[in-house]
């Protein structure tokens, strides 16, 4: 969806969502990685479950996030109608040290999971 202009209400939702650093960090990770579980966000951001949930609920109630459940995990993602404007905003702050560190932590987490999955798979083939 290409934005030409936005309503005041639409803009206020975004600006209020971006008014606290934890929400900016969560949105940035979701922009970079499409969707993440609450446990991933807790690990990457080093937040408590309560803090992470509170900010995710705020973003979801503001209408910026969607979610899907797989077994016992809840995955969050940014709704398509907000992607373009958030991409523009994050272009301006993409080199922020906290945001860069968060993404690096995610990459390590992802790599460790892939290594563990490969090890499990290789052990199964050997039996």
Query: Bridge partners of 73?
Result: 70
Q: Could you give the maximum distance between any two Cα atoms of the chain, in Å?
A: 62
Each residue's pLDDT, cut to its tens digit, for the chain (127 residues) gives 555 667 888 888 888 889 999 999 999 999 999 999 999 999 999 999 999 999 999 999 998 999 999 999 899 999 998 898 899 889 999 889 999 999 999 999 888 887 777 777 676 666 5
Which residue in this structure is represented by tokens 């958030």? 86
Q: Which domains does the chain have, with CATH numbers?
A: 8-126 (1.10.10.10)
Give the span between the Cα atoms of 86 and 78, in whole angstroms: 9
């Amino acid at each position: 969806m290409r934005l030409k202009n936005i309503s005041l209400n639409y803009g206020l939702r975004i600006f209020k969502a971006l008014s606290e650093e934890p929400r900016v960090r969560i949105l940035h990770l979701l922009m970079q990685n499409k969707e993440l579980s609450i446990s991933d966000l807790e690990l990457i951001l080093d937040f408590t479950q309560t803090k992470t949930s509170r900010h995710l609920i705020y973003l979801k109630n503001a209408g910026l996030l969607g979610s899907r459940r797989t077994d016992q995990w809840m995955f969050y993602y940014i709704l398509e109608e907000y992607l373009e404007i958030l991409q523009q905003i994050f272009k301006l702050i993409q080199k922020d040290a906290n945001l860069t560190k968060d993404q690096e932590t995610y990459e390590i987490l992802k790599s460790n999971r892939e290594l563990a999955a490969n090890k499990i798979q290789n052990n199964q083939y050997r039996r």
